[in-house]
Amino acid sequence: QAHLVESGGGVVQAGGSLNLSCTASGFTFDDYAMGWFRQVPGKEREGISCIRWNSENTYYSNSVKGRFTISRDNAKNTLYLQMNALDSKDTGMYYCGAATSCNDFYQLVDNQRGILNYRGQGTQVTVSS
């Protein structure tokens, strides 16, 4: 059975940093592009970053570009998101997900009813000002 488990969330002061991890099991991790999206209750999901299966290309939303860095270690079946210069607007539940391509990842996330190939249960990030 496929699982994605996020970790690393927490409470941090504005300007601080967090490093999220997403560990995969039960499927072939490097067959998929992997991404992070976030959601705040009452608001739509926002795809914030995606990385191709071989790490050759990474993509970021304008809201996190220059502050967040996505990476993956296929040998460890793990996806990462290094988040720096955090702001209260970054508060939300952060999820990792798998898709056949980053284009599909963003399309599925942006379509609020879209279903990714796999997704985790999320980790909460709270940035206090």
pLDDT in tens, 49-88: 999 999 999 999 999 999 999 999 999 999 999 999 999 9
pLDDT at residue 41 greater than cutoff 90: no
pLDDT at residue 129 greater than cutoff 90: no
How high is the pLDDT of residue 113?
78
Closest CA to 32 of 40, 22, 42, 41: 22
pLDDT tens for each residue of 94-124: 999 999 999 999 999 998 778 898 999 999 9
How many CA within 13 A on the CB side of residue 34?
29
How high is the pLDDT of residue 56?
96
User: How many angstroms separate the CA atoms of 101 and 50, rounded?
Assistant: 9
pLDDT at residue 93 greater than cutoff 90: yes
Identify the residue whose tokens are 């926002």.
46
How high is the pLDDT of residue 112?
79
pLDDT at residue 37 greater than cutoff 90: yes
How high is the pLDDT of residue 86?
98
The CA-based angle 122-54-29, given to 5 degrees, is 45
> Residues near 75 by Cβ (< 8 Å), separated by ≥ 6?
none
pLDDT tens for each residue of 22-32: 999 999 999 99
How high is the pLDDT of residue 51?
98
How would residue 34 be classed by pLDDT, with cut points 50, 70 and 90? very high
User: How many angstroms separate the CA atoms of 103 and 66, rounded?
Assistant: 21
